Chains A and B, each alone.
Chain A
Amino acid sequence: SQTIHQWPATLVQPVGSPLSLECTVEGTSNPNLYWYRQAAGRGLQLLFYSVGIGQISSEVPQNLSASRPQDRQFILSSKKLLLSDSGFYLCAWTSGGYEQYFGPGTRLTVT
């Protein structure tokens, strides 16, 4: 069966520090991968999506970047965090069908 992992589960980082969030998927190959951010009490906002290794599309210009070094690995990064980067970050995958599966999320607090 397919499984999606995200880590860390929670993170507290100071403003100006770097960020690296990792997402991995098991049990499928060549998935579409997505990074979303959910601000407190708000809906999910698509940040990046990838349809293959090295292929990244950005939906919202911002302080973040994404990379896909391997087929089932998706990384969200920042060189210098801003206070506004705080939120709940969700990774998701889909593999050709309608269903999109979400990971457990990472709670990021920038102080």
Chain B
Amino acid sequence: KNQVEQSPQSLIILEGKNCTLQCNYTVSPFSNLRWYKQDTGRGPVSLTIMTFSENTKSNGRYTATLDADTKQSSLHITASQLSDSASYICVVSVFVAGNMLTFGGGTRLMVKP
């Protein structure tokens, strides 16, 4: 069964600190892995997309890593800001027609001043 597990479920950090969110998946056949940011009551917005051959990708203060052998990914947030408070969702795409996605449950991040 295709699954995406994220940890921790929730996280509180102080503004300016760094943090790392984890994602483990058992999805086959693997196509790509995405990290989305979802503000409360809004639709998810893509941060990074990585294919099998990519092991790191950055988007500003967000850096995602992918280890396709161990089927693990991480999202590192540097110098956190209050606006980083949101849910971060790891999503793995299956390599089939229709671009099917398997969603993790998300990590709810709260950045406090």
**Residues of A with Cβ closer than 8 Å to B?**
32, 42-46, 49, 51, 57, 88, 90, 92, 94, 98-105, 107
Contact = CB atoms under 8 A, between A and B. Distances in A.
A43 B4 CA distance: 10
Contact of B98 (A42, A49, A90, A103): A49
A101 to B, nearest CB: 8
Given A49-B98, A51-B98, A99-B49, A105 B41 contact: yes
Interface stretch (B56-64, B69-77, B103-111): B103-111
Contacts of B100: 46, 49
28 contacts: A32-B99, A42-B105, A43-B89, A43-B103, A43-B106, A44-B44, A45-B103, A46-B100, A46-B101, A49-B98, A51-B98, A88-B41, A90-B43, A92-B43, A94-B99, A98-B49, A98-B51, A98-B93, A98-B99, A99-B49, A100-B46, A100-B101, A102-B45, A103-B43, A104-B43, A105-B41, A105-B42, A107-B41
Contact of A104 (B32, B42, B89, B99): B42
Contacts of B31: 98
Given A43-B106, A90-B44, 20 more contacts: A43-B103, A43-B105, A45-B103, A46-B101, A49-B98, A51-B97, A57-B98, A88-B41, A98-B32, A98-B34, A98-B51, A98-B93, A99-B46, A100-B34, A100-B46, A100-B99, A100-B101, A102-B36, A104-B42, A105-B42
B70 to A, nearest CB: 22
Interface string B19-45: 000000000000110101000011111
Interface of B: 31-32, 34, 36, 41-46, 49, 51, 89, 93, 97-101, 103-106
Contacts of A92: 43
Which of B36, B43, B98 has the most C-beta atoms of chain A within 10 angstroms of its own C-beta?
B43
A33 to B, nearest CB: 10
Contacts of A102: 36, 43-45
